[in-house]
Amino acid sequence: MSETAQASAAPTSIQSEIARRRTFAIISHPDAGKTTLTERILRAGGAIQLAGNVRAKGERRRTKSDWMGIERDRGISVVTSVMTFEYGDCVFNLLDTPGHEDFSEDTYRTLTAVDCAIMVIDAAKGIEARTRKLFEICRLRDIPIVTFINKMDREAQDSFALLDEIASTLALDTSPATWPVGRAAQFVGTYDIRTRELHGPAKELPQSDPRMVALSEELELVEAALPPFDREAFDAGHLTPVFFGSAMKEIGVTDLLDALVAYGPAPRAQPSESREVKADEGQVTALIFKIQANMDPNHRDRMAFARVCSGRLTRGMRLRHVRTGKQFALHTPQFFFARDRQLAEEAFGGDVVGIPNHGTLRIGDTLSESEDLRFTGVPHFAPEILRRVRLDDAMKAKKLRQALVELAEEGVVQLFRPQDGLPPIVGVVGTLQLDVLQSRLKGEYGVSIGFESTPFTMARWITGDRAKVEAFAMTNRSSMADDLDGDPVFLSSSAFMMRRTVEMNPDLAFHDIKQIG
Ligand code: GDP
């Protein structure tokens, strides 16, 4: 196929399918109401019958034991990574992100696969630390943000003050899409600024009700002081439409979904090494952004989650696995719903499907129908914690090696093999990852390990002229390791040492982020 044919547009029927995809994640500080909102959204989408049964307490991964509990739950219900449902005329894919900041790398990768994020804010607390951090990740990729100010049924900050806070702390323009009617215990619904309609129980209020009187005064201020919705600014990530509501009382939830139906965003273009791939191109391309094992306790499976970046994927299709150059047959791509999964006979640009495999697919991999392209943007971060793995039973060394590779491929930890032949080092961003590694090695592979400290506190990927990299590795052997892909990594005992090394080796580049793919 020629270059032009490869980048040609899909037929209109496929384009219209792609245009009705909405792929998003919810970002928030713990306790702002993400779990509750997720349940209500799925219920509105008909994906679950009763609110409250998405999972026990999905985001409360604050302690080790809680987290392990969640892992167990995860074996039973397959809800964690993606939930697909229909609402209005659209197909929604809601991608879950771990709540605990120790899993931030996972969150970052998931956010590379969405077209939009809902930022949930607690109306009493305003912008909190983790919201801001997650927002910054979205901003790096100009992901459009929809804001949901939650818990309006409780004492809240002044609505104008909240909008001001968003604008000033995040440097993001705000445009209220709805306005709350009543506050705290008197909160009865929302007013849609665009259609001028009341939603929820507020519809029943007489004009003389004090809440309606207050509403019309506030609306005058809103109109005078705040910008109207600007689609382009929203798409570029510069302006956020703001919704008010109460996830718990199910007020304002469908306002959010209706807005996503009305103004998207539809699947966006995905960057690759050679060019941007538009969602409505004819050829099928997909990006693996997450691997999850043990979703079904009855058979040890391993699921790669792929975002379909363009075209129409069909079951049975053979795609090129670009990293290895081999063909990969899609026998059983799957859609995930709140409680179960189903074979995906077809999926379109923007959709997220699970692809069962036994370790062929890795995070960052590209699948492509024809063109030899590699998607970018899925990163590995240099770990901040480095530990040597101590094996309790020396007979299990081989098993440990294999298990560490598999778990590193899943993104549980990063694996470094020291070039001096000493036992492997694992690197993590947060210590909870170490707990998970230890518990999974024991539970799934029957291997008990402990961790020993290393002299190292930093890791940097090295690139440069091959001979120069090798010469550097020779002279720094006890500080060199190979990562999972065999790429060289320099380990340093301090920031000072690292700076010195960088200064003394101007021909080499030291990276704290590795783009995979
Ligand atoms: P997450 O940690 O962000 O997932 O937050 P949850 O959804 O678990 O909510 C945290 C707490 O806030 C729980 O006790 C919820 O019942 C409560 N909550 C969530 N949404 C609302 C709301 O709209 N109003 C009130 N009053 N409480 C809420």
Domain architecture of the chain: domains with CATH = 24-79+116-264 (3.40.50.300), 271-368 (3.40.50.300), 379-515 (3.30.70.3280)
Cβ of 153 below 6 Å from ligand 1: yes
Share of the chain above pLDDT 90, in %: 74
Residue nearest to atom 19 of ligand 1 (CA): 33
Average pLDDT, the chain: 89
Nearest to 267 by CA among 92, 391, 385: 92
Q: What is the mean pLDDT of residues 434-440?
A: 91
State the ipTM, two decimals. Answer: 0.99
Residue 443 annotated as lining a ligand binding site? no
Residue 316 annotated as lining a ligand binding site? no
Q: Is residue 269 a contact partner of residue 349, using CB atoms and an 8 Å limit? A: no
Cβ of 414 below 6 Å from ligand 1: no
Give the per-residue pLDDT at 94: 94
Q: What is the mean pLDDT of residues 396-403?
A: 94
Nearest to 262 by CA among 309, 308, 229: 229
The helix (H) or strand (E) run that includes residue 445 is: helix 432-445
Of 26, 29, 31, the residue with max ligand 1 atoms within 8 A of its CB, to mutate for a pocket test, comes to 31
CA pair distance 318, 443, nearest whole angstrom: 35
Classify residue 206 as exposed, middle or buried by CB count within 10 Å of its CB (0-12, 13-18, 19+): exposed
CA pair distance 451, 226, nearest whole angstrom: 55
Q: pLDDT tens, 253-302?
A: 999 999 999 988 999 999 999 999 999 999 999 999 999 887 665 666 78
Q: Is residue 91 a contact partner of residue 120, using CB atoms and an 8 Å limit? A: no
Cβ of 56 below 6 Å from ligand 1: no
* Region at 423 (left for phi over 0; alpha for psi -120 to 50; beta for the rest): beta
Give the per-residue pLDDT at 97: 83
Q: pLDDT tens, 59-112?
A: 333 334 344 444 444 332 334 578 899 999 999 999 988 767 777 788 888 999
- For residue 502, pLDDT beyond 70: yes
Residue nearest to atom 26 of ligand 1 (CA): 151
Q: Is residue 7 a contact partner of residue 276, using CB atoms and an 8 Å limit? A: no
Bridge partner list, 451: 389
Atom index in ligand 1 nearest the CA of residue 28 equals 3
Q: pLDDT tens, 22-65?
A: 999 999 998 999 989 998 998 898 765 443 344 433 433 333 43
The helix (H) or strand (E) run that includes residue 329 is: strand 326-329
Nearest to 303 by CA among 119, 45, 81: 81
Cβ of 36 below 6 Å from ligand 1: yes
Helix 159-170 vs helix 210-225: crossing angle, to nearest 10: 30
Give the per-residue pLDDT at 342: 86
Classify residue 507 as exposed, middle or buried by CB count within 10 Å of its CB (0-12, 13-18, 19+): exposed
- According to DSSP, the β-strands at 513-516 and 82-87 are unpaired
Atom index in ligand 1 nearest the CA of residue 245 equals 23
Measured CA angle at 316 (ends 315, 318), to 5 deg: 115
Q: What is the CA(253)–ligand 1 centre distance, in A?
A: 14
Give the per-residue pLDDT at 430: 87
Cβ of 150 below 6 Å from ligand 1: yes
Give the per-residue pLDDT at 56: 39
Tokens of residue 91, six digits: 């197909």
Nearest to 515 by CA among 287, 331, 309: 287
Residue position matching structure tokens 């993104």: 411
Beta carbons within 8 Å of 281's beta carbon, 6+ residues apart: 6, 7, 8, 9, 10, 310, 311, 349
Q: Is residue 47 a contact partner of residue 335, using CB atoms and an 8 Å limit? A: no
Cβ of 281 below 6 Å from ligand 1: no
Whole-structure pTM value = 0.88
Q: What is the mean pLDDT of residues 415-419?
A: 97
Q: What is the mean pLDDT of residues 192-196?
A: 94
Q: Is residue 25 a contact partner of residue 111, using CB atoms and an 8 Å limit? A: yes
Query: Three-state SS string across 194-229, please?
Result: CCCEEEHHHHHCCCCCHHHHHHHHHHHHHHHHCCCC
CA pair distance 382, 425, nearest whole angstrom: 13
Local confidence band at 5 (pLDDT 50, 70, 90 cut-offs): very low
Give the per-residue pLDDT at 299: 62
Strands in 178-181's sheet, in edge-to-edge order, are: 178-181, 189-192, 197-199
Nearest to 43 by CA among 57, 33, 53: 53
Cβ of 172 below 6 Å from ligand 1: no
CA pair distance 188, 125, nearest whole angstrom: 21
CA pair distance 37, 48, nearest whole angstrom: 13
Cβ of 151 below 6 Å from ligand 1: yes
Q: What is the CA(290)–ligand 1 centre distance, in A?
A: 27
